Structure 1
Amino acid sequence: MISLSSVPPELLGADPDNPAEPLIVLCTFGTGGDLYPFLKLAQGLRQRGRRTLLLIPRFHEAKVRDSGLAYLAYGTHEQSQGVLDDPALWDERKGFGVVWRGLLPSAQMVHELMAALPKAQPCVALCHPFMVPLAALARHGRPDLRIVGAYLAPASLRTVHDPLTMGSLQMPRWVPLSWRRALWRTIDRFWIDPDLLPGLNAARAIHGLAPVTSFLPHMQAACDASVGLFPAWYAGRQPDWPETFVEGQFPLPPIQGILAPELEAFLAAGPAPIAFTPGTGHRHAARYFADALSVLQALGRRGLFITPYADQLPQALPPEVLWQASAPFEVLLPRLAMLVHHGGIGTTAEALRAGIPQLVMPYAFDQFDNGMRVQHLGAGTVLPAAKANARRMRRQIAALLARTNEQGPAAGSRGSNFEPGLEGLLDSVEQALGLAASSTATRSPPSLP
């Protein structure tokens, strides 16, 4: 049985003897890009006097240990590494199953955590969407548990309205709503549910719960409320989103990071480079970087490769191409000529803030939808990774650079007017959690130019 005895009481924030102050359990999952928004929210909520407890994959423990935040780690390094090592993770049809099977062994731990919380202490769970079904499992032993879905990207909120993407498929506006609903049912029946439902329903059966008939509708319906970690100008509320959905903002950091000396020297030594990154969790991008090097050499441009996995890189990089395991994007991106990336929501948001052109090369999950939104904002173009090669990458990059030289920064980029709105986001999160607002500040999303 899990116990909070290992968590120093002072790390839980406000006075633990106050029976009216709920404990906010932030249930996280995924790569570093998934974890970071919850870290920012936990820090902001603690500054407002809230009690918080992070539930994190053990794979991320080193990142959280020095944050000063209360946390409990679940799972094993081997489980997380097994997910990242599976090349099917980046297949748009197979990725959801890989992620879910990697998470299921932790279902019982989430249940035990909720059971170990003091019954007299109110508790709310702020969940990554994939953690919602596990929190719903735990709720049968704690009926008063309030579950709030924290949607990092709009693609996780199902809709039949425009804009509508289903993986790499973008639905034309003329398609009737009845056809769209039928297509979602088909995707559920033949793609998502056969891969995800058996494991979930087996876990529910252990606790005597009825089986779920469809995974994604259950994930959305199990939430008492939900909040978007993105602004309305990026994705406006759709008519079929939950009535309890609360609009938010991107949880971006202030622009105050410091670049590594090697990177600073490289940037100062020549023209702004083109940066390439497939994301912090992508371990199977050797071809991506080989194509990127070919493109840079063909265009005669300097480049920056960003990945924690050096074994994916070409064996010998020329002096005009630098590798970095990581970098603070809020400081780096404004100094780039362009960013080529996978379409993760955090990277997309930072590139929009920097006002630089983007070539989005999506692999799976929400990346296709994010790429489409970048394109509709006029901030870049999309080249699905499955269709990419050096020739197509070179053509897209050359066209984006030429357009930027002729027209200036893309019209949809936020540039210097971009507002992260963390205080406003915290207001939205507190509203979704059902808490009395601890800040009277209000924030309005910036209008599109």
Structure 2
Amino acid sequence: MATMLLSAHGTNGDVLPFVRIGRELAERGHDVVVMTHSWFAGPIAAAGLRHLPIDTSEGYDRHLDDARRFMLDPLRDPDGVLALYRRNGLFELLADEVRMIEAHYRPGETVVVARHTSGIAAQMVAELRGVPVALVSVTPHQYVSLPVLGNLFRHVLGQGYDEVFQAFGLRPVRDWAAYLTSVKTQLALWPEWFDAAGQPAPENVVRCGFVLGDTAEGPVPDWTEPPVLITGGTGQVLHQRFYDVAARACRRIGRKALLVTRHPSFLPESLPDEVEWVPSASFATVMPRVAAVVHHGGIGTLARALASSTPQVLLAHGVDRPDNAERLARAGVAEWLPVSHWDEERAAGLLARALGDDGYRERIAPLAAAAGSEDSVRVVAEHAEALLGTDAVMTRPDPRERLARLSPEQRARLAAMARARRDAASA
């Protein structure tokens, strides 16, 4: 029996797919340990998996609240991002995670499956001990944003990361974009059509398909008329006007709505009588039974809506949401508004159009069948199992090799950027 250590950070859309992957690996006879936030103890226990908490539930909520404004626009106050990391002990947490992985590592019998971008501890242990690692991306934005993220990690957070790397005897990272794509096994939790609808992931990334995180069934709702579901996800990285605009849009077209959020501070001062608020709901049960969903553009919510053939309207703002929304719109399976166009009238118009599309559920059926399939989970599990016994110390990518792989157009852009920097320096 092998040990499969799953490492994930974030909210439901980031973590619950790892719980589902862990359940698949456990059913294949492996010992599965999920290293993540304490807040997910319930779903992990329900899946029959071992939990290795990295924080407390109170600390998790405190960090979500603290991180909210920086996650929406991290470049507005880069110095504040470093202060955020220091204040919440995130560099110390990285060091703790390295030690946790080392403690569970058995040569030849352990694989780490980590969330791309935040799975830095796994990559460090791959360098230190040779543990095989698979990086899993939950949204295309994790690749789209690599140039910006690499710059943030290097020039804003670099001091903190350098301290941790040096404490373990590792060289500091100088090219974060290359470092985060250096792991050979990289898995994407979205399908080919979603990838092709925007900037595609690198060629070596395996597009596995959506992995639905919320699989627990809840009480079947008893509605005389299916309402519109309104949800901004489980995190706090959300524009303050989201729920107000969504609720007013439903009222404008005379539709009842079920508003789901565990953060009451985001609710408007008064909700329309037609809107019912609940702190949580099983989307596996609710989503197929609502008339439509108005949501923030989170990958977990959109995947569940696709699997349920539920019409979607996205009020997308921040992080990966606009990119996700554009991909759905290009594929002709959702309507969306950027934050600059949020108002009651426009949102109501899109919602009315989505509700009035009588052919939507038939048109979406092929994509829905694929989104609800278990094949994607099996693909991830098979790639993880293929790494068993492949222990080898991970080496850093050589910058010269990376340059050699660039196309002539990429080389020309780099040369132009270098000239621009020299001209600016001499001006």
- TM class by smaller structure: 0.7 to 0.9
For 2:134 and 2:237, the matched residues in 1 are separated by 31
Does the alignment pair 1:80 with 2:60?
yes
1:211 deviation in Å?
A: 1.8
1:41 deviation in Å?
A: 0.8
1:119 deviation in Å?
A: 4.5
Equivalent position SS for 2:186: strand
Which residue of 389, 398, 401 maps to 2:343?
389
For 1:145 and 1:214, the matched residues in 2 are separated by 22
Which residue of 41, 46, 58 maps to 1:61?
41
1:415 deviation in Å?
A: 6.6
The verdict on how the C-alpha distance between 1:345 and 1:151 changes in structure 2, with shifts beyond 3 A counting, is same
For 1:36 and 1:254, the matched residues in 2 are separated by 7
Letter aligned with residue 69 of structure 2: A
1:125 deviation in Å?
A: 0.8
- Per the alignment, residue 170 of structure 1 pairs with none
Does the alignment pair 1:125 with 2:120?
no
4+ aligned runs moved over 4 Å, structure 1: 94-102, 118-121, 188-192, 236-240, 253-256, 283-286, 412-416
- Per the alignment, residue 220 of structure 1 pairs with 181
- Per the alignment, residue 378 of structure 2 pairs with 426
Q: Deviations over 1:47-93 (max 9, x none)?
A: 01122111111232344344421121112334422331133144143
Matches within 5 A, 1:103-114: 103-114=90-101
Across the two proteins, how many residue pairs are aligned to each other? Answer: 380
For 1:420 and 1:274, the matched residues in 2 are separated by 21
Which residue of 179, 182, 204 maps to 2:165?
204
Matches within 5 A, 1:240-259: 241=202, 243=204, 245-252=205-212, 257-259=217-219
Relative contact order: is structure 1 or structure 2 higher (C-alpha 8 Å, sep ≥ 6)? 2
Does the alignment pair 1:150 with 2:130?
no
Q: Deviations over 1:373-415 (max 9, x none)?
A: 111121112212354232332233233334x14x544845647
Which ranges of structure 1 fall in alignment gaps of 5 or more residues? Answer: 1-13, 15-21, 159-165, 167-183, 437-449
The answer to whether the Cα contact below 8 Å between 1:104 and 1:200 also exists between their aligned partners in 2 is yes
The verdict on how the C-alpha distance between 1:331 and 1:66 changes in structure 2, with shifts beyond 3 A counting, is closer
For 1:314 and 1:214, the matched residues in 2 are separated by 44
Does the alignment pair 1:331 with 2:312?
no
1:292 deviation in Å?
A: 2.4
Matches within 5 A, 1:14-53: 14=1, 22-53=2-33
Letter aligned with residue 353 of structure 1: A
For 1:150 and 1:61, the matched residues in 2 are separated by 21
Does the alignment pair 1:369 with 2:323?
yes
Does the alignment pair 1:229 with 2:189?
yes
Matches within 5 A, 1:6-17: 14=1
- Bigger drift between 87-96 and 46-55 goes to 87-96
For 1:61 and 1:343, the matched residues in 2 are separated by 25
For 1:259 and 1:215, the matched residues in 2 are separated by 46
- Per the alignment, residue 134 of structure 1 pairs with 121
Equivalent position SS for 1:235: helix
Letter aligned with residue 88 of structure 1: R
For 2:53 and 2:247, the matched residues in 1 are separated by 39
The verdict on how the C-alpha distance between 1:427 and 1:396 changes in structure 2, with shifts beyond 3 A counting, is closer
The verdict on how the C-alpha distance between 1:341 and 1:423 changes in structure 2, with shifts beyond 3 A counting, is same
The verdict on how the C-alpha distance between 1:414 and 1:199 changes in structure 2, with shifts beyond 3 A counting, is farther
Q: When the two structures are superposed, what TM-score results if normalisation uses the length of structure 2?
A: 0.78
For 2:189 and 2:280, the matched residues in 1 are separated by 23
Q: Deviations over 1:227-253 (max 9, x none)?
A: 12222232259887153x333122227
1:189 deviation in Å?
A: 7.2
1:120 deviation in Å?
A: 4.4
The verdict on how the C-alpha distance between 1:56 and 1:255 changes in structure 2, with shifts beyond 3 A counting, is closer
- Per the alignment, residue 91 of structure 1 pairs with 72
- How large is the RMSD of aligned CA atoms in angstroms? 3.1
1:38 deviation in Å?
A: 0.8
Letter aligned with residue 427 of structure 1: V
Equivalent position SS for 1:46: helix
Q: Deviations over 1:337-392 (max 9, x none)?
A: 22111111111111111222211222222222211111112111221235423233
- Per the alignment, residue 17 of structure 1 pairs with none
Letter aligned with residue 140 of structure 2: P
- Per the alignment, residue 276 of structure 2 pairs with 322
- Per the alignment, residue 255 of structure 2 pairs with 301
The answer to whether the Cα contact below 8 Å between 1:246 and 1:432 also exists between their aligned partners in 2 is no
For 1:255 and 1:119, the matched residues in 2 are separated by 31
The verdict on how the C-alpha distance between 1:53 and 1:219 changes in structure 2, with shifts beyond 3 A counting, is same
The answer to whether the Cα contact below 8 Å between 1:277 and 1:305 also exists between their aligned partners in 2 is yes
Q: When the two structures are superposed, what TM-score results if normalisation uses the length of structure 1?
A: 0.75
The answer to whether the Cα contact below 8 Å between 1:155 and 1:369 also exists between their aligned partners in 2 is yes
Quote the sequence identity (%). 23
